[in-house]
Amino acid sequence: MGIDFLLLIKILVLPVILGLFAIFVGLLYKGIDRKIAAHMQARIGPPIRQPFRDVRKLLIKENIIPENAIEWVFNLAPVVAVVAGISILLYVPIGTPELTVLSGYGDLILIIYLLMIPALALVIGGMASGSPYATVGAQREMVMMMSYEFPLAVAIVAVAWKLGSFSLPVISSQPVWGFVEPNLHPLGFVGFCLLVLTLLVITPIELSKIPFDVPEAETEIGSGLLAEYSGRNLALFVLADGVKTVAIGSLVVAIFFPWGLAPLLGLSGWLARVVDILFFLLKVLIIIIISVTFVRVAAARLKIDQVAYTYFIPLTVLAFCGLALVVLDELLFMGV
């Protein structure tokens, strides 16, 4: 009975706690991102708590359903986007491999599919709104998805092939860099550097941030996919964006930078876990600042054909080069 009760808590309570935590951290990251971007543009910028205010304001505003919309699909899409983002985090080790709510042999394959769901929810919700602007945005979002999913899959499969497991806790517990020390496995080391670069470049397009925000381009198609959304539904999409930001950053950290501070500081027990979780969140923030904030401030919005070309050809080639170097290193330096 005790085991069943603990299992019930793990299945029902931990996802809720993790979801609330992810929403809080996601909005906090959005506030920090806006503050840093403003300072880089010589502006003061909004306070870090501004995303929390925006969401609160949206939640108390009227939820307007367009006359031509398919109402149940229009209302369901933002809920699906939030749930999918939180579901990804259930499989990601937060801080240490032991702090994973769910785990299994095929975690990474499931995560690749779950990453697609928030974008698909945006597409379906936008098309269900009946707006021509949203339809154009949905078409652009689908083109982007077809462009970046392939290099993303190549990068993740390369790591899983090297470590012999698709389980994220297993990958987190044995950092990939320990298998490709630069002096012993130079090709593998360079290969993994290319795969890290691939994931960092994919991060802003997964989040539809500038210069890859063509599905929502305000000046061209009036917010595109979100043109008809308001009130509670728009607030849910904002929350989904925050949660997905945490999920993407956490995935990159868990695969390539899983180290904790506690062993270095000689800590143990609950204090070690708290320190490792805080250090994990700091690494996620650094990943977001490097791959999203800096790029967003420095680059202008690309056209949809430029986005598709950039991801479908050069980035796929980059990911394949990384995979080829990792495989070649394994063949040439086997047993070293």
Cβ contact 37:53 at 8 Å: no
Q: Give Cα separations from 5 to 85, 90, 99 (angstroms).
A: 26, 19, 19
Closest CA to 170 of 155, 185, 159: 159
CA dihedral 92, 98, 102, 106 (to 10 degrees): 70
pLDDT tens string, the chain, 336 residues long: the values are 455 666 676 677 878 888 898 899 999 999 999 999 899 888 888 999 999 999 999 999 888 888 888 889 999 999 999 999 888 888 888 877 777 887 778 888 888 888 889 889 989 998 898 888 888 888 888 888 888 888 888 888 888 888 888 888 888 888 888 888 878 888 888 999 999 999 888 888 888 777 777 777 777 776 778 888 889 999 999 999 999 889 989 999 988 888 888 888 887 778 888 898 999 999 999 999 998 888 888 877 777 777 777 767 888 888 889 989 888 888 887 655
Q: What is the largest CA-CA distance in the chain?
A: 67
DSSP string, 81-137: HHHHHHHHHHTS-SSSTT--SS--TTHHHHHHHHHHHHHHHHHHHHHHTT-HHHHHH
Cβ contact 214:221 at 8 Å: no
Cβ contact 330:206 at 8 Å: no
CA 252/CA 32 separation, integer angstroms? 19
Handedness of CA 23, 46, 287, 314 (dihedral sign): positive
Q: Give Cα separations from 10 to 6, 45, 92, 277 (angstroms).
A: 6, 40, 15, 19
Residue 94, φ and ψ in degrees, nearest 5: -95, 100
CA 287/CA 203 separation, integer angstroms? 9
Structure-block tokens of residue 8? 């019930």
DSSP string, 207-256: TT-TTS-GGG-HHHHTTGGGTT--HHHHHHHHHHHHHHHHHHHHHHHHHH
pTM of the model: 0.88
